[in-house]
């Protein structure tokens, strides 16, 4: 984290879990366990039908509401889709684009991730753009190439003033839902690299202000160490965000002071 230059963001991703009826109980347990003076932006990305139930408790808890997906299209004849305007009208402030599960199961490609990103930004919603390599790509030494391609594709035609509002989440596919968290060194290395790609595209000032998250088996036990790295500005948390106590603990860890310094602080 580097709170001097950018926001720390802790975003939960409930995936296809929970129901609207579960929201109230979850939120009261989360609020009871969360420190009053939280110094990060806490967000919950929930399935679309749960959003209305989250509006009131999220406001009380100063928690941002996020969606897990958005249509790449605007309004029109796209049966079953939900567009950025609809989300923004409900008060949604964040939306995930390009999660690896959507890339894998729903054929979401880089061009679609780019269109989603542009649509979200046009409606004032912060995109949380997910990038990450497979185990095979890592083994073959293709991680950085793959990450650079995904970041550049997602941000294609995103202007400077909008790029500063984007969040990138580094989620190695081999670490998601597996319990195999990336080491702090692996996660920092790629997050620092993502910032360098953003620097090439937009210059040092914008790259320095972008929040870059880590995701992939982040939990209450390993969050503090990951968040102590200078280029890891928060987390995208799946499994552990379903447990209000664990999620609150990670939010509390995001309030800690930066303990490690590297040259990237001087960006």
The CA radius of gyration of the chain, in Å to the nearest whole number, is 17
* Contact positions with ligand PGA (CB under 6 A) in 4-43: 13
Q: Which stretch, 70-78, 195-203, 226-234, 238-246, contacts ligand PGA (CB under 6 A)? A: 238-246
Are 148 and 197 within 8 A, CB to CB? yes
Minimum Å distance from CB 98 to ligand PGA? 11
Q: Report in angstroms how near the CB of residue 216 gets to ligand PGA at its nearest.
A: 5
Which residue's beta carbon is nearest to the bound ligand PGA? 238
Q: Closest separation between CB of residue 218 and ligand PGA, Å?
A: 6
Where does residue 18 fall: left (phi above 0), alpha (psi -120 to 50 degrees), or beta otherwise?
left
**Binding status of residue 238 toward ligand PGA by CB under 6 A:** yes
Give whichever of 202 and 235 is closer to ligand PGA, judged by the CB atom. 235
- Residue closer to ligand PGA by CB (options 208, 241) is 241
Question: Do the bridges between strand 126-131 and strand 94-97 make them parallel or antiparallel, or are there none, so unpaired?
Answer: parallel
Which of the residues are catalytic? 99, 171
Restricting to residues 143-172, name those near ligand PGA by CB under 6 A: 171
The nearest distance, CB 217 to ligand PGA, in angstroms, is 4
Choose which of 66, 98, 127, 215 interacts with ligand PGA (CB under 6 A): 215
Binding residues with ligand PGA: total (CB under 6 A): 13
- For ligand PGA, the binding residue among 71, 117, 217, 222 (CB under 6 A) is 217
Cα–Cα distances in angstroms (integers) from residue 231 to residues 114, 166, 253, in the given order: 23, 15, 16
Among 35, 52, 124, 177, binds ligand PGA (CB under 6 A): 177
User: Which residue lies nearer to ligand PGA by CB, 17 or 265?
Assistant: 17
CA distance 103 to 147: 14
- Helices marked H in the chain — which ranges? 20-33, 51-60, 84-90, 100-105, 110-122, 135-139, 143-154, 160-163, 184-202, 204-209, 223-227, 244-253
Mark the segment that binds ligand PGA (CB under 6 A) among 24-32, 158-166, 237-245, 252-260.
Answer: 237-245
Q: 3-class SS at 107?
A: coil
How many angstroms separate the first and last alpha carbons of the chain? Answer: 13
CA-angle at 251, arms to 250 and 257, nearest 5°: 95
Q: Which is nearer to ligand PGA, 15 or 146 (CB)?
A: 15
Tell me how far apart the alpha carbons of residues 1 and 261 are, in angstroms, rounded to a whole number: 10
Residues in the site for ligand PGA, rule: CB under 6 A? Answer: 13, 171, 176-177, 215-218, 236-240
């Amino acid at each position: 984290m580097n709170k001097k230059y950018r926001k720390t963001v802790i975003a939960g991703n409930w995936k296809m879990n929970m129901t609207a009826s579960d929201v109230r109980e979850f939120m009261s347990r989360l609020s009871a366990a969360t420190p009053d003076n939280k110094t990060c932006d806490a967000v919950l990305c929930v399935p679309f039908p749960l959003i209305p139930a989250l509006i009131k408790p999220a406001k009380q808890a100063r928690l941002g509401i996020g969606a897990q997906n958005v249509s790449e299209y605007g309004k029109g004849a796209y049966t079953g889709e939900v567009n950025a305007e609809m989300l923004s009208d409900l008060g949604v402030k964040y939306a995930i684009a390009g999660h690896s599960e959507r890339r894998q199961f729903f054929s979401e490609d880089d061009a679609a991730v780019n269109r989603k990103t542009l649509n979200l930004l046009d409606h004032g919603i912060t995109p949380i753009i997910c990038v990450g390599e497979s185990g095979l790509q890592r083994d073959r030494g293709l991680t950085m190439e793959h990450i650079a391609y995904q970041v550049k594709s997602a941000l294609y035609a995103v202007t400077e003033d909008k790029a500063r509002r984007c969040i990138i989440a580094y989620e190695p596919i081999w670490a998601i839902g597996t319990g195999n968290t990336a080491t702090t060194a692996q996660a920092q290395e790629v997050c620092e690299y993502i910032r360098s790609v953003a620097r090439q595209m937009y210059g040092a000032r914008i790259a320095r202000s972008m929040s870059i998250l880590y995701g992939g088996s982040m939990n209450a036990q390993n969050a503090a160490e990951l968040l102590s790295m200078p280029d890891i500005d928060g987390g995208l948390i799946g499994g552990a965000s379903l447990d209000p106590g664990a999620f609150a603990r990670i939010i509390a860890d995001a309030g800690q002071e930066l303990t490690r310094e590297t040259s990237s602080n001087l960006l």
